[in-house]
Amino acid sequence: MPLVDRTLLGPGPSNPYPEATAALAAPLLGHLDPEFLRILDETCARLRTVWGTGNARTLPLSGTGSIGMEAAFANFVRPGDTVVVAVNGLFGERMTDVAARYGADVVRVDHEWGQPVDVQRVVEAHPSPAIIAAVHAETSTGVRSDIAALAAAAPDSALVLADCVTSLAGIPVDIDGWGVDIAYAGTQKCLGVSPGLAPFTVSERAWERRAQRPPTWYLDLNLIGAYVDGSQGGRTYHHTAPVALIASLHAALGRILDEGLEAVYERHRAAGEHLQRGLQDLGLTLFAEEGHRLPELTTVTVPDGVDSAKIRQILLTEHNIEIGAGAGRYAASVWRIGLMGHNARVERADLVLATLGRLLRS
Amino acid sequence: MPLVDRTLLGPGPSNPYPEATAALAAPLLGHLDPEFLRILDETCARLRTVWGTGNARTLPLSGTGSIGMEAAFANFVRPGDTVVVAVNGLFGERMTDVAARYGADVVRVDHEWGQPVDVQRVVEAHPSPAIIAAVHAETSTGVRSDIAALAAAAPDSALVLADCVTSLAGIPVDIDGWGVDIAYAGTQKCLGVSPGLAPFTVSERAWERRAQRPPTWYLDLNLIGAYVDGSQGGRTYHHTAPVALIASLHAALGRILDEGLEAVYERHRAAGEHLQRGLQDLGLTLFAEEGHRLPELTTVTVPDGVDSAKIRQILLTEHNIEIGAGAGRYAASVWRIGLMGHNARVERADLVLATLGRLLRS
Q: From its phi and psi, is residue B197 left (phi > 0), alpha (psi between -120 and 50) or beta? A: beta
Instruction: Write out the H or E segment, with its range, that includes residue B300.
Output: strand B297-301
Cα-to-chain-centroid distance, residue B253: 15
CA–CA distance, A94 with A92 (Å, rounded to integer): 5
For residue B151, pLDDT over 70 is answered with: yes
Residue (of A359, A303, A305) closest to A334 by Cα position: A303
Contact check, Cβ <8 Å, A64/B213 = no
Q: Are A123 and A147 in contact (CB under 8 A)?
A: no
What φ, ψ does residue B116 adopt, rounded to 5°? -75, 170
Nearest residue of chain A to residue B248 (CA atoms): A25
For residue A98, pLDDT over 60 is answered with: yes
**pLDDT confidence of residue A233:** 67
Contact check, Cβ <8 Å, A6/B25 = no
CA–CA distance, A99 with A112 (Å, rounded to integer): 21
CA–CA distance, A5 with B195 (Å, rounded to integer): 25
Min distance B102 CA to chain A CA atoms (Å): 7
For residue B332, pLDDT over 70 is answered with: yes
Q: Are B76 and B209 in contact (CB under 8 A)?
A: yes
Say whether B69 sits in a helix, a strand or coil: helix
B275-302 pLDDT per residue, tens: 999 999 999 999 999 999 999 999 999 9
B336 labeled binding residue: yes
Cβ atoms within 10 A of the Cβ of A317, count? 13
Q: At what angle do helices A34-51 and A243-259 cross, to 10 degrees?
A: 50
**pLDDT confidence of residue B231:** 74
Nearest residue of chain B to residue A32 (CA atoms): B324
Q: Which of A15, A98, A322 sits opposite B217 (nearest CB)?
A: A98
Chain A residues in contact with B322 (beta carbon < 8 A):
30, 33
Min distance B124 CA to chain A CA atoms (Å): 28
**pLDDT confidence of residue A234:** 74
**Mean pLDDT estimate for chain A:** 96
Contact check, Cβ <8 Å, B22/A25 = yes
Q: Which of A27, A195, A217 sits opposite B98 (nearest CB)?
A: A217
For residue B34, pLDDT over 60 is answered with: yes
Nearest residue of chain A to residue B39 (CA atoms): A1
Q: Classify residue A347 by burial, with Cβ atoms within 10 Å: 0-12, 13-18, 19+.
A: exposed
| Mean pLDDT of the region B213-228 | 94
Q: In what order do the strands lie in the sheet with B334-338?
A: B285-286, B297-301, B334-338, B324-325
∠A237-A239-A243 over CA atoms, to 5°?
A: 100
Chain A residues in contact with B245 (beta carbon < 8 A):
194, 196, 242, 245
For residue A164, pLDDT over 60 is answered with: yes
Contact check, Cβ <8 Å, A29/B6 = yes
Contact check, Cβ <8 Å, B322/A30 = yes
CA–CA distance, A240 with B228 (Å, rounded to integer): 24
For residue B2, pLDDT over 80 is answered with: no
Min distance B29 CA to chain A CA atoms (Å): 7
Chain A residues in contact with B29 (beta carbon < 8 A):
4, 6, 8
B244-262 pLDDT per residue, tens: 999 999 999 999 999 999 9
Distances (CA, A) of A67 to A11, A72, A290, B67, B279: 18, 8, 31, 11, 43
Chain B residues in contact with A32 (beta carbon < 8 A):
10
Residue (of B141, B164, B190, B173) closest to B289 by Cα position: B141
The fraction of chain A above a pLDDT of 70, given in percent, is 99
| Mean pLDDT of the region B177-193 | 98
Contact check, Cβ <8 Å, B67/A62 = yes
∠B161-B64-B160 over CA atoms, to 5°?
A: 0
Say whether B87 sits in a helix, a strand or coil: strand
| B185, amino acid identity | A
Interface test with A, best of B218, B235, B236, B320 (most A CBs within 10 A): B218
CA–CA distance, A89 with A158 (Å, rounded to integer): 22
| B173, amino acid identity | V
Nearest residue of chain B to residue A315 (CA atoms): B33
Contact check, Cβ <8 Å, A213/B5 = no
CA–CA distance, A168 with A141 (Å, rounded to integer): 17
> Which domains does chain B possess?
7-13+261-361 (3.90.1150.10), 18-258 (3.40.640.10)
Residues 6+ apart with CB under 8 A from A19: A251, A252, A254, A255
Sign of CA dihedral B71, B74, B76, B80: positive
| A332, amino acid identity | A
Say whether B212 sits in a helix, a strand or coil: coil
Binding-site members of A for substrate are 336
Distances (CA, A) of B124 to B84, B110, B153, B155, B158: 10, 13, 10, 10, 12
Q: Are A338 and A10 in contact (CB under 8 A)?
A: yes
Contact check, Cβ <8 Å, A239/B196 = no
CA–CA distance, B102 with A358 (Å, rounded to integer): 55
Chain B residues in contact with A218 (beta carbon < 8 A):
63, 66-67, 69-70
Q: In what order do the strands lie in the sheet with B57-61?
A: B57-61, B198-202, B182-184, B159-163, B131-135, B82-87, B105-110
CA–CA distance, A186 with A12 (Å, rounded to integer): 10
Is the previous residue joined to A13 through a cis bond, with omega within 30 degrees of 0?
yes
| B126, amino acid identity | H
Q: From its phi and psi, is residue A74 left (phi > 0), alpha (psi between -120 and 50) or beta? A: alpha
Is the previous residue joined to A27 through a cis bond, with omega within 30 degrees of 0?
no
Alpha helices in B203-242 (DSSP H): 204-207, 221-228
Cα-to-chain-centroid distance, residue B362: 36
Chain B residues in contact with A26 (beta carbon < 8 A):
3
**Mean pLDDT estimate for chain B:** 96
Interface test with A, best of B64, B96, B222 (most A CBs within 10 A): B64
**pLDDT confidence of residue A327:** 96
Contact check, Cβ <8 Å, A30/B8 = yes
- Indicate the pLDDT class of residue A91, thresholds 50, 70 and 90: very high
- Indicate the pLDDT class of residue A251, thresholds 50, 70 and 90: very high
CA–CA distance, A343 with A8 (Å, rounded to integer): 8
For residue B1, pLDDT over 60 is answered with: no
CA–CA distance, B334 with B351 (Å, rounded to integer): 19
Q: Are A298 and A336 in contact (CB under 8 A)?
A: yes
Contact check, Cβ <8 Å, A215/B102 = yes
Q: Which of B65, B69, B218 sits opposite A67 (nearest CB)?
A: B218
For residue B352, pLDDT over 60 is answered with: yes
Residue (of B288, B285, B290) closest to B88 by Cα position: B288
Q: Are A308 and A302 in contact (CB under 8 A)?
A: yes
Q: Which of B29, B74, B188 sits opposite A6 (nearest CB)?
A: B29
* Residue B293 DSSP symbol: B
Straight-line distance from the first to the last Cα atom of chain A, in angstroms, rounded to the nearest whole number: 32
- Indicate the pLDDT class of residue B232, thresholds 50, 70 and 90: low
Contact check, Cβ <8 Å, A245/B194 = yes
B43-77 pLDDT per residue, tens: 999 999 999 999 999 999 999 999 999 999 999 99
Min distance A22 CA to chain B CA atoms (Å): 7
B92-135 pLDDT per residue, tens: 999 999 999 999 999 999 999 999 999 999 999 999 999 999 99
Count chain A–chain B contacts defined by CB atoms under 8 A.
181
**pLDDT confidence of residue A236:** 86
Min distance B23 CA to chain A CA atoms (Å): 9
Min distance B31 CA to chain A CA atoms (Å): 8
Q: From its phi and psi, is residue A312 left (phi > 0), alpha (psi between -120 and 50) or beta? A: alpha
* Contacts by residues B256-261 (CB-CB < 8 Å, ≥ 24 positions apart): B256/B17, B256/B50, B256/B169, B256/B191, B256/B192, B257/B46, B257/B49, B257/B50, B261/B49, B261/B50, B261/B169, B261/B172
SS3 annotation, chain A = CCCCCCEECCCCCCCCCHHHHHHHCCCCCCCCCHHHHHHHHHHHHHHHHHHCCCCCEEEEECCCHHHHHHHHHHHHCCCCCEEEEEECCHHHHHHHHHHHHCCCEEEEEECCCCCCCCHHHHHCCCCCCCEEEEECEECCCCEECCHHHHHHHCCCCCEEEEECCCCCCCCCCCHHHHCCCEEECCCCCCCCCCCCCEEEEECHHHHCCCCCCCCCCCCCHHHHHHHHCCCCCCCCCCCCCCHHHHHHHHHHHHHHHHHCHHHHHHHHHHHHHHHHHHHHHCCCCECCCCCCECCCEEEEECCCCCCHHHHHHHHHHHHCEECEECCHHHCCCEEEEECCHHHCCHHHHHHHHHHHHHHHHC
